[in-house]
Chain A
């Protein structure tokens, strides 16, 4: 198992919600999407690649084969699915520090939701309902969400610069070059491997590398 791939962490949390209040959540999601301001905090937290909340009705779970036993579920469920940069603690903590009221609004109707403040009951709620990721692939393991955005900006700006300066005089080129650097002054961060997410994840990684013959010595 690994919830981590490169600089990204995959989190799946599935929490029960009473079928007769699920529509309230759908309404809240709908309002949130209509009014982008409600998601401003989430978007400002730049460590997030992606976050999605979905209501799965109690009769909507996939039944893929006739041999699969039919289930009778008491609850509907809310699936929260997110990819983010950094550690679990960093992510969950950023959520509760920065947007506790937003979290409470989304999870409010979920069974035994503890509220996001204080922290420990919220941590326990997420941990208890989290499904670990069995397989996780990351095409750009060195890139954070910010790096991906920056790369797109650098590319667009470089192409523009290239076409705009093709026939420029030296002075004009210098001026435009300064402008290019200034425009990109927040997009030139180095891209190297992630800091160690935790000592246990680091030890797992070292053990794997040792088994693959990439590490010398007995420390594995």
Chain B
């Protein structure tokens, strides 16, 4: 990797999914600016404590990871209240200006996902001046290395991480107090018993007291996060996470897909506000609170797991494209024998080997979806090179449910996927106390980062999750996240394809319920350190 990023200028949460760096707990806090000058002073105070993307570790100038991280972002109104000049404000993208609530019809946030069901903080956002969200702050707590691997020691370490989040939060409240009413904390996040909290807490789901990277349905999350140029700690993670080249190799994606002020996959700078110093090394962040209907999920999986020929766990794997026990991609482990092989390899592999087993695959051997269905989560959100495909037979009478690679059709195999990637951050929230119920406080906070909200996040959400034409699947939606129809008469369904050479029939998942519902969210801008300092000093000037 020869491309160099200015790690001291980029906020740490842009390049790092903190969960992977031993930060299993976090708190997200939102503020309303009551006074522009005090708001800027508040930003100045935060900026001095902001965690950058600098490399941690041993060496002559050893730089330890902080006990708690702090990162800051603003939505459009926030930047307005901080008195950014109009000439800069009009350079932000239209969807960022409009905000997530206004984009609900694009995002498919309807029915139980509609804004009237969102947490109060998000319902009230962009309705009245004093309830508008302006500033986002995230604090992640570092887990010390446990004394031993016993659950008690690990649990103590997790508690230490949470205590560090608390310490960071206390510091944050001091900064708020120092501004004497210039900045107000906005509460209104629903908690465990429907009470309203001043913050959104998240933490890794624990299994026997040990933090996992699983969400509440039991799937491992965040494996396929994209890798792009210049991220030093991702140098060994390119295969399966960058872009697939014609010769079968992988290369990191262009930095401009995820950072403003860098060239992107179309060899240009992504649209960005001026001046350049405001935009460069910053990015857009999509914050979304997604409730998981655990009871509905369990019931549906049980019901169809009994009928599905491969059994319940294989069916669960078909929903997502990965097995729940170890995250094995189903394209590598599609039946008992291949799963046993995968498990043996996985067990024997070292850390890097495990990572590659999970992430380094293509759909080249599964173009018909007999292993990973076309509506499975990972195939929809990142189809890799699988959209360069064609029917084996064009004659209607001879069609046999088979597709193959349309070799050489596109200039590069991943052409239709490479500009639709998003970085995914965030952690689960709440705990599941009763797996038969939907109404507990459990879900995930997902934060997605990209250079162009409309081209990347919104496109994937609308075209690939809530629609299926690119997958030749009509209006069929992605199984797990799709905003499945609420209509009795026109329910949603999905097709689980089979090997065209087999004697099996595809399994149709009928009457798909909504497994996941939106509970709030907003579009934010994550500035660079340079931009934060300029915003704080009130010196942003595009002339």
Please give the residue numbers on chain A whose beta carbons come within 8 Å of chain B beta carbons, in ascending order.
7, 37, 40-41, 43-44, 46-47, 85-86, 89-90, 93-94, 96-101, 117-120, 144, 146-147, 150, 152-153, 155-157, 160, 175, 177-179, 181-192, 195-196, 199, 202
Contact = CB atoms under 8 A, between A and B. Distances in A.
Nearest to A153: B396
B411 A189 contact: no
Given A93-B455, A189-B473, A183 B504 contact: no
Q: By DSSP majority rule, is chain B's interface helix, strand, loop, or mixed?
A: loop
Which size bracket describes the interface of B in this complex? 35 or more
A106 B139 CA distance: 53
Contact of B266 (A118, A156, A192, A196): A118
B105 interface: yes
Contact of A178 (B271, B368, B400, B505): B505
Contacts of A40: 406, 408-409
B127 interface: no
B242 to A, nearest CB: 16
Q: Which of B410, B473, B495 has the most CB of A within 10 A?
A: B410
B472 A44 contact: no
Interface in B473-512: 473-476, 485, 490, 492-493, 495, 497-498, 500, 502-506, 508
Q: Rank and list the top 6 A-B pairs by shortest CB-CB distance, nearest first.
A: A189-B474, A118-B268, A156-B396, A119-B266, A44-B409, A178-B505
Given A46-B470, A195-B467, A199-B103, A185 B497 contact: yes
B179 interface: no
A50 to B, nearest CB: 16
Q: Which of A99, A153, A179 has the most CB of B within 10 A?
A: A153
A184 B266 CA distance: 37
Interface of B: 98, 102-103, 105-106, 108, 265-268, 271, 368-369, 374, 388-391, 396-397, 399-401, 403, 406, 408-411, 415-416, 418-419, 454-455, 459, 462-463, 466-470, 472-476, 485, 490, 492-493, 495, 497-498, 500, 502-506, 508
Contacts of B410: 41, 44, 97-99
Contact of B504 (A98, A147, A182): A182
A129 B92 CA distance: 26
B268 A156 contact: no
B5 to A, nearest CB: 21
Given A97-B419, A146-B469, A185 B401 contact: yes
Given A147-B474, A196-B106, 15 more contacts: A41-B411, A43-B390, A44-B388, A44-B410, A46-B472, A85-B469, A98-B416, A99-B411, A182-B500, A185-B368, A186-B497, A187-B399, A189-B473, A190-B468, A195-B467
A41 B389 CA distance: 10
Contacts of A189: 468-469, 472-476, 495
Contacts of B416: 94, 97-98
B500 to A, nearest CB: 6
B408 to A, nearest CB: 7
B475 A192 contact: yes
Contacts of B462: 195-196
